[in-house]
Amino acid sequence: MRRLIAILILTTATTVSAEASVRSFSQPMVSGSAVSDCLADGRSCGKPAADLFCKKEGYAEAILFARDRVAKASALDGDRRCEGESCEAFTRIKCYSPADGDQASAE
């Protein structure tokens, strides 16, 4: 019986560590304001900015994101801030990291 329990624990531990990680962030913030959909250069928008957010949170990349107009937003990688009608920020970012064994093939 103890041997069976030990095998089940090892199998479960192996299975859990081999699964991919996914997490959704709703209304992501940086320094108290919405996360801009663009990086500080103002040209790298959308996926590059969402990917940087995910990397800062410990994930490999963003697999989904949504954005909307906001009154104020801040870039993740610098002092760039946006205020006014032209600001866009992420309303949702879904981050992903592959299973441990798949990490090398994902890079």
pLDDT tens digits for the chain (107 residues)?
555 444 444 444 444 456 889 999 999 998 788 999 999 998 999 999 999 999 999 999 999 999 999 999 999 998 889 998 889 999 999 999 998 755 444 44
Q: Which residue has the tokens 């801040």?
A: 74
3 within some domain: no
Q: Contact 66/50 with Cβ under 8 angstroms?
A: no
How many whole angstroms from its chain centre is CA 81?
20
15 within some domain: no
106 within some domain: no
84 within some domain: yes
71 within some domain: yes
**CA 3/CA 67 separation, integer angstroms:** 52
72 within some domain: yes
**CA 74/CA 40 separation, integer angstroms:** 9
**CA 13/CA 26 separation, integer angstroms:** 29
As for how many domains the chain has, the answer is 1
58 within some domain: yes
104 within some domain: no
What residue numbers bound the domain in which 83 lies? Answer: 21-97
